Chains A and B, each alone.
Chain A
Amino acid sequence: MSKKMGKTILSSALVFGLVATACSNGGSKDGDTVTITHYTIDSPDRTFVEKLIPEFEESHPNIKIKVTKAPYEQFDSKLQSSIAAKNAPDVTSHWGYGGFMEYYNKGMLMDMTPYLEDFNAADYNIPEDVMNIYKVDDKTYGIPLNSYVTVMLYNKDLFDKAGLEYPPTDYEDKSWTFDKMVDYAKKMTVDTPNLAEAQYGVDFGFGERDQRPQYFGANVYSDDTWTNGGKPSEINLTKPEVVEAYKKIYGLIWDQKVSPTPAFSKSVSGQFGDPFLSGKIGMSVVGSWSLAASSDFNFKIGVAAVPQGPNEKVRSVLYVDPLFILKDSKHPKEALEWIKFLITTEVQEKSIELSGGNPPVNQKAAEKYYSNFEGIDPEQIKQVFEGAYKYGFESYNHLISNYSQINELFINELASVENGDAKVEEALPGIQEKLKALLERVNK
């Protein structure tokens, strides 16, 4: 049934697209083809769009799509350089260090509103509140493409070995709490310097370091941040509730000893790797992109709700990836055609498989996404995602201006705490001052 529906939507989208194309063609000479550059990350879960091009070009004979790519580390630098060389791509997303607000404040993004008169998010099954994430002053700067959430993955083998019950997928099951998670974790932890035997209960990777206290009901930034273009007027790192939150977070490593130390993580999985994949971690609170690789794991995994913490409202970080049209694009209309093509139900469904499991923003296609993971019950995934949407908060890196510099600061300044060399309450006042100075400079 959903497939049929999808087809209807697709065909209407196609008709709509053709009409729009015809309109935009009116201005230029007949037979002119326009090339749209789509700039993306060089990894299979992104470069798959190349496989969608033939179909698009067939239905849009006057548009050619060219894909350019760079690895994550180099993503922003290539983007900036190509803008400087007057060679900017037309369509891209914030797939590097910087987020939406950073791009927006630099004036890199095109206001799409004038081209969106006939665009109706409902045609693409995009929830209104998701659509609103990339609006500033009622102007639309981005159209959502994928929406990731934070989930808990767990290693079923380790659970079985410890004789533990699997954690629930239902966010309304309030017995699944942070403290219970820690209890479980204790039962799976083998804390020893011997790498071959060491094993840890939980890796609590909720958002980036500055967002993590949100789970405990504490906010690092003042509330005006979310309404004034991502520029916090105050930082609360020395407030007692924030200090307590960080104590809980790092207490998992150093007091409870149920979480891996950075030394352990880095020596099993490298500088940026995820130690969960080594099979030596019981539970991992992590972005749902980790699910995409689930079929390659050499142990059985399960997915569960992020346990109920002190914050009643927020239990999951949302990462909605949009597509932007860059300001220098000469063909915004054609670029929009390509974007609309990518969010149609059929293409979004197709993308799930081609990408290895990107969660579609199109809620119709999401149904298919939930059944994409071998060995995991679709109903469970659906429940976890829906709960996460309900209790979700958009990731700070999309919302705060100059995020890459802020994040860099947190990573470096908290390293001594993570390594067990400093106490939370010793480190935070220094970070508070440095962050203040940084924000004063970048937001002047």
Chain B
Amino acid sequence: MSDITLAKPFPDKRNKTKVDLARIIGFAILLIVTIAMILPLGFMLSTSLKTTKEMLVFPPTVIPEHFAWENFKELFVNEEIKFGRQYANSLIVAIMTVIGTVFSSSFVAFGFARYRAKGSQFLFVLVLSTLMLPYPAIMIPQFLLFTKLGLHDSLLPLILPSFFASAYMIFLLKQFFSTLPNELYDAGRIDGCREVRLYWSLTLPLSGPVLATVAIFSFIWSWNDLLAPVLYLDSQENFTLPIGMAAMLSSKFRIAPWNLMMAASLLSVLPIVVLFAIAQRRFVQGIVLTGIK
């Protein structure tokens, strides 16, 4: 395979046939891998539309004999699942997190990009170092703090920290703000009021795409997060989707409702699919810029 590891394609007339062979092999490999990547998603879709009886048939049927749309209805109707409520909770947390992250991080990043002060270098290094700080290393005292404040079993502990800026996003936005031409801000006097206006009505409007990237990624992280919600949320009404879905595996059901779980998974992936469809470029940019998935 290393025979075909050309970094960037460039014309090669001498070895045309060889290159073609290499490309064909490469193409075949990609095709197989892509199918392998997509297949589980297809299995998810197909199972979500099967009846309880059909889902356990071996070998699995590809297309359900009878489309069991009622699985999706069941998710919302079944009182014991509280799927709708949990979906709403997840949306609330994710949207609030996006709002908090976008505004606080851009605010802070503006400060880092625009001003020098005693300690500003040091503080930026500190921002970068918190990129590596594992959440499990700080979750216990955070949990104890919020619990003592009586905020346990509420959505607040999941939302509140996002209003104090995220290191990743500060880093990403600072890089972008630094590329904005200095002349934009040229106008002698520095005063607080004017600076906030510069941030709000000059910088933010120029940063639409990168803010969209920040928004999308903070949405996805919040949407997929399991550990923090598991620590804080105890009542079923307060669950976010990930815990609610994990709880569906438990004993309330006679037979593990794989069809319902796949339907739930499908619906929980929906916002991400939608975001992906309307802003694919922002995804690519976000991944490349932050280096995280």
Contact = CB atoms under 8 A, between A and B. Distances in A.
Interface of A: 42-44, 68-74, 77-78, 81-82, 84-87, 194-196, 266-274, 277-278, 293, 296
B74 to A, nearest CB: 15
B228 to A, nearest CB: 14
Given A42-B235, A71-B236, A272-B250, A196 B57 contact: yes
Contacts of A267: 256
B141 interface: no
Nearest to A76: B234
Nearest to A83: B147
Contacts of B235: 42, 68-71, 74, 78
Given A196-B56, A272-B249, A42 B256 contact: no
A82 B147 CA distance: 8
B56 A268 contact: yes
Given A72-B250, A272-B249, A81 B256 contact: no
Interface string B256-270: 110000000000000
A286 to B, nearest CB: 12
A118 B235 CA distance: 37
B148 A85 contact: yes
B150 interface: yes
A81 B255 contact: no
Query: B interface, by DSSP: helix, strand, loop or mixed?
Result: loop
Given A195-B58, A196-B58, A81 B250 contact: no
B18 interface: no
Interface in B128-170: 144, 147-150, 152-153
A273 B152 contact: no
Contacts of B249: 270-272
A297 B148 CA distance: 45
B249 to A, nearest CB: 5
A296 B80 CA distance: 15
B116 interface: no
B10 interface: no
Interface in B39-62: 56-58
B236 A273 contact: no
8 contacts: A71-B250, A81-B152, A85-B150, A270-B251, A271-B250, A272-B249, A273-B255, A277-B255
A273 B234 contact: no
B251 A87 contact: no
B253 interface: yes
B287 interface: no
B77 to A, nearest CB: 15
Contacts of A72: 250
A195 B59 CA distance: 10
Contacts of B149: 85
B247 A273 contact: no
A84 B151 CA distance: 11
A42 B236 contact: yes
A328 to B, nearest CB: 14
Nearest to B53: A196
